Amino acid sequence: MTELPDDVRDLAALELRAAQVQDWSIAGDSFTWTLLAGDSDRGHELATVTYVGAVVLHTNRRDLDRAVAAAAEVEHAEIRRTEDGGFEHRVTLVPAYPVVVRFWSVEVRRMPAPDHLRRER
């Protein structure tokens, strides 16, 4: 995808394959989740992603709670531009179910994480 704003480029730069859902929250028009990305060879990091002007589709609070409890992992993630000028982050979690977040802007915070945070599924 060309000509992405800096904030969306930061999201696209995350390597989310096999990242585990650690936590999530919804406040006002923002959706935030924290994902444990990486592996024992490259090292792990916690990526906290906050989508602003967010609408979460194809899932509900119960499913998100289950994703945390089950240490659900990202199977696939992609970013698409929407017709109205916003963006969608399309994420498929294993066990396989889709999460689509429509948003206007995003903030990505990354920090190193210890290997022991990775949970067995």
The model's pTM:
0.92
CB 103 within 8 A of CB 91: no
Read off the tokens for 74: 């990202």
Amino acid at 45: E
pLDDT one digit per residue (tens) for the chain, 121 residues: 468 999 999 999 999 999 999 999 999 999 999 999 998 888 899 999 999 999 999 889 999 999 999 989 999 999 999 999 999 999 999 987 899 999 999 999 999 998 888 887 6
HEC string of the chain?
CCCCCHHHHHHHCCCCCCCEEEEEEEECCEEEEEEEEEECCCEEEEEEEEEECCEEECCCHHHHHHHHHCCCEEEEEEEEECCCCCEEEEEEEECCEEEEEEECEEEEEEEEECHHHCCCC
* Per-residue model confidence (pLDDT) at position 118: 85
What residues does 52 pair with on adjacent strands? 30, 105
Which pLDDT tens digit goes with each residue over 78-110? 999 999 999 999 999 998 789 999 999 999 999
